[in-house]
Structure 1
Amino acid sequence: ARIVDCVEAALLLPEDEGRTYERAVFEELRASDASAALRHLARAERRLGLNPDLAGIELLARRTIAIAGEGALAADLARDMLGRGMRVTLFDHDTEVLTRTIGLVAAGYEREDPGGRKTAEMRRQEWSRLDGATEPRDLDGLDMIFDLSELAGRGARTRMADFGRFAAEGAILATAATGPDLDTAITVSQRPRAVLGLRPAGPASDRLFELAASPITDREILAATIALMRGAGRRVVRTGLGDGSLSERLLGALRFAADRLLEDGATPYDIDAAMQAHGWQIGPYAALDRQGLIADLEWRARLETEDEHPLGTAGIGLELLEMGRGGISTGAGYYRYDADGNAWPDPEVLSVLTGTRGAPVRGVTSGVILARLLAALANEGARLVEEGVARRPSDIDLVMVIGHGLARWRGGPMQVADRTGLLAMRNALRKLAQGRDERFWRPAAIWDELIKTGRRFEDLNGP
């Protein structure tokens, strides 16, 4: 809107007055919260490329990669790796799954190149470098093995033992596993210095990945993985090992706080509307319907074993599943879906809230909803920084913006905490902790540390 104002001023005002007006508008916008948020994220993205501990490392030549897993992510990664000249082997024990994934690779070529930017010969050469395999021994001598199967709930704790046995010397062994499953993969591989965690940083985009490494991970392996992912058009957020990835932990906190709001009288539709009005691509309950309620409950049960938050006890997902409401795939979940896939609020869900859970639908303001959810995210982010899982607060903001669809001009939960004021945010958390779920809302110790020294989360980000 302000651009239009400047264009009109250029047409209507004398040149000197027009320039003065444009300068005033520029200064006004530069001082806005949105400008601060955008500049914060630009700096955060620049920091992703700053890895002084990996400077000067000579990388081994790697030309072959296996991708174990299924679906669009495996297919897209395979196509991008083929595009940078690598030989790619898609792996799955199930031949039907393998065939479907290869089909997705082919469909992706048609979708991405409608104008013929690649010649037929270029596409033929790329396609000739694609293989399929169903047995670990078929991966003998490969330079990198990337196991995505954990994302589909099909991962095997001991699969990395097979991969470690057959991969080439110096190979990168990457897995989408997190927490104890990643620890197991590192142990059984017999190559603990070669194994790292690598997974998308959220469902909104596969262009940002989390890379989890242990203190003993080989530095060349780390540097080479970052370079390979960059070559495939992906950026990497480096993390430490912990109970779950950044994305999982933040999403768990968000869902827990949202489910508690349901019990306080909000509806799924109130919460989704408040978040979308704040700039999220999709609210948590519409996102749950896309994911599928069965997958969500399985995810909660697994994460609960790794974390102290009682994720499995909150919400009404189990009740909805027992009613046959599994999400979009079944035509109903938190929403009801018409034949065209459009989502509609459903009185039946409100009946579950008022009846089964005993929570009267009395309305919760969007301001309360947003304050509660952002406080939950900021506190979980503070814990992640405190535990050393997150290397810097700005990485958490990138995960939420790129991985989970928060609008860039909002900046992310850690930047919001700085803007709100750490003292005010900590006091709000203390007040929430006086009720139920004291462990969840209890402010992480880092809040007090920063407040005492007059610092903000931004001060922990580095240059």
Structure 2
Amino acid sequence: GRDAQLAHLSAVPDPEPLAECDVVIEVMQAAKPDELRTMYERLGSMARPGTVFASATTAGPGGLEARAQALGRPQDLVALLFAQGVPGARLVEVLPSPQGAQDLGATGAALVQALGKVPVVPRRAGAGITSTLLDALWRAAFWLVEEGAAPDDVDKALADYGFAAGPFQMMDRIGLNRVAVAGLAERMREQGWSGRAAGIGFYAYGDDDKPETLAPGVAELVADHRAQRAISSRDVPANEIVDRSIGALANAGARLVAGSVAARPSDIDAAIMLGYGFPRWRGGPMEAADLGGLLHMRNRLRDFSAGREGKIWQPDPLFDELIKYGRGFDSLNR
């Protein structure tokens, strides 16, 4: 039980006992930059050679590189990014610092497995798989809301498709302070509507901590945001919400594979299924693209990219290459 787990923990007033640890995990998400720097400087000077340092976030000024610089041992630093979009997510992305030792990714993956989680490791240091996928999903979701859909319409359409949670529910859970998309998210933060932890985000949260209805004022804020950007609202059907969202994910996945960040398309599918509630029975966005036909997906992406702010839907050249030879994303998994 919980008490038995807590019995294994020891609270200490200073970090000196950490000098004998094999692994040190930092979770100082709310720390000020000078506090974080001082902590890493102390850890780097006191820990024995070979100690692995893991940060549970890349947030904060300078991100992982600033931590590595303060530590003075960048070859020993790795980020372990636990997926937080849906309850019970098993995925952890392992991001070695750009100067990390060659085997640091494998070491981080082994640690993740020891914790009972599933690791995903990008092929290139400093490049993230899940952050790229989420950025595409967030941008598609915000575009759809600007176009005329309500946030809960977007969430419902993707829940009906099979997602464990819609993008705005996920953003609330993760915290809007960690959603790096300009525009509506910024205006939400300015209002103090930063998500579930604050009690209000796109949804209002009661004692049960469950999103029931859109928070008061969100519809008005969205309407004002549209007016400021001179965007005429229209009805956005559920099938368009799904197609644009899955298309954005598949296109981002294609870029990750083409750029050698992800080793294979199945890594993209595993990451979004295990970390962010993509329906397993649909196989992930790359498999969904294969099943629906890459030619159909590419043509839909072309149509989407021709409209307002269509960059996220501009088809990656990998689509053309695979279509030319009659292949699918699955052929790159072998």
Q: TM-score normalised by the shorter chain: which range applies?
A: 0.7 to 0.9
Distance 1:129 1:460 in 2: 45
Q: 2:316 aligns with which of 424, 444, 459?
A: 444
Is 1:237 the counterpart of 2:130? The answer is: no
| Letter in structure 2 aligned against 1:175 | S
Scaled by the length of structure 2, the TM-score of the pair is 0.83
SS of match in other structure, 2:243: helix
Alignment of 1:291-370 (within 5 A): 291=174, 295-296=175-176, 298-300=177-179, 303=180, 311-313=181-183, 315=184, 317-321=185-189, 325-328=193-196, 332-337=200-205, 341=210, 343-345=212-214, 348-358=217-227, 361-370=233-242
* Structure 2 counterpart of 1:423: 295
C-alpha contact (below 8 Å) 1:176/1:199 kept by paired residues: yes
Q: 2:19 aligns with which of 107, 126, 140?
A: 140
C-alpha contact (below 8 Å) 1:350/1:361 kept by paired residues: no
1:157-200 deviation per Cα after TM superposition (whole angstroms, max 9, x unaligned): 57444322222221112223449522333344333332222221
Are residues 325 and 414 of structure 1, via their aligned partners in 2, closer, same or farther at CA, if it must alter by over 3 Å? same
Are residues 363 and 337 of structure 1, via their aligned partners in 2, closer, same or farther at CA, if it must alter by over 3 Å? farther
Distance 1:377 1:428 in 2: 13
Are residues 140 and 345 of structure 1, via their aligned partners in 2, closer, same or farther at CA, if it must alter by over 3 Å? closer
Give the root-mean-square deviation of aligned CA atoms.
3.0
1:244-301 deviation per Cα after TM superposition (whole angstroms, max 9, x unaligned): 632222111111111111111111121011011011111122233334xxx41x324x
| Letter in structure 1 aligned against 2:171 | L
Deviation of the 1:236 alpha carbon: 1.2
Distance 1:206 1:148 in 2: 18
Deviation of the 1:381 alpha carbon: 1.3
Deviation of the 1:349 alpha carbon: 3.0
| Letter in structure 1 aligned against 2:226 | R
> Which 5+ residue runs of structure 2 have no aligned equivalent?
none
Are residues 242 and 361 of structure 1, via their aligned partners in 2, closer, same or farther at CA, if it must alter by over 3 Å? farther
* Structure 1 counterpart of 2:282: 410
Deviation of the 1:348 alpha carbon: 4.2
1:373-410 deviation per Cα after TM superposition (whole angstroms, max 9, x unaligned): 11111111112222222222111111211111122112
| Letter in structure 1 aligned against 2:328 | R
| Letter in structure 1 aligned against 2:76 | A
Deviation of the 1:146 alpha carbon: 1.7
Distance 1:410 1:379 in 2: 17
| Letter in structure 2 aligned against 1:352 | L
Deviation of the 1:345 alpha carbon: 3.9
| Letter in structure 2 aligned against 1:440 | I
SS of match in other structure, 1:197: strand
Q: 2:72 aligns with which of 190, 195, 202?
A: 190
Distance 2:316 2:323 in 1: 12
Are residues 452 and 163 of structure 1, via their aligned partners in 2, closer, same or farther at CA, if it must alter by over 3 Å? farther
Distance 1:257 1:233 in 2: 32
Q: 2:263 aligns with which of 364, 371, 391?
A: 391
Is 1:166 the counterpart of 2:46? The answer is: yes
Are residues 339 and 203 of structure 1, via their aligned partners in 2, closer, same or farther at CA, if it must alter by over 3 Å? closer
SS of match in other structure, 2:10: strand
Distance 1:361 1:438 in 2: 17
Is 1:264 the counterpart of 2:147? The answer is: yes
Is 1:210 the counterpart of 2:78? The answer is: no
Alignment of 1:247-262 (within 5 A): 247-262=130-145
C-alpha contact (below 8 Å) 2:204/2:216 kept by paired residues: no
Are residues 153 and 411 of structure 1, via their aligned partners in 2, closer, same or farther at CA, if it must alter by over 3 Å? farther
C-alpha contact (below 8 Å) 1:415/1:457 kept by paired residues: yes
1:349-374 deviation per Cα after TM superposition (whole angstroms, max 9, x unaligned): 33333344225554211100000011
Scaled by the length of structure 1, the TM-score of the pair is 0.62
* Structure 2 counterpart of 1:109: 2
Q: Which moved more, 1:349-358 or 1:259-268?
A: 349-358
> Which 5+ residue runs of structure 1 have no aligned equivalent?
1-107, 111-122, 304-310
Are residues 129 and 322 of structure 1, via their aligned partners in 2, closer, same or farther at CA, if it must alter by over 3 Å? closer
Are residues 261 and 395 of structure 1, via their aligned partners in 2, closer, same or farther at CA, if it must alter by over 3 Å? same
- What is the aligned-residue identity percentage? 35
Deviation of the 1:320 alpha carbon: 4.3
Deviation of the 1:424 alpha carbon: 2.1
* Structure 1 counterpart of 2:81: 199
| Letter in structure 1 aligned against 2:219 | L
Paired residues in the alignment total 325
C-alpha contact (below 8 Å) 2:269/2:287 kept by paired residues: yes
For the pair shown, the structure with the greater C-alpha radius of gyration is 1
Are residues 220 and 128 of structure 1, via their aligned partners in 2, closer, same or farther at CA, if it must alter by over 3 Å? farther
SS of match in other structure, 2:254: helix
| Letter in structure 2 aligned against 1:443 | P
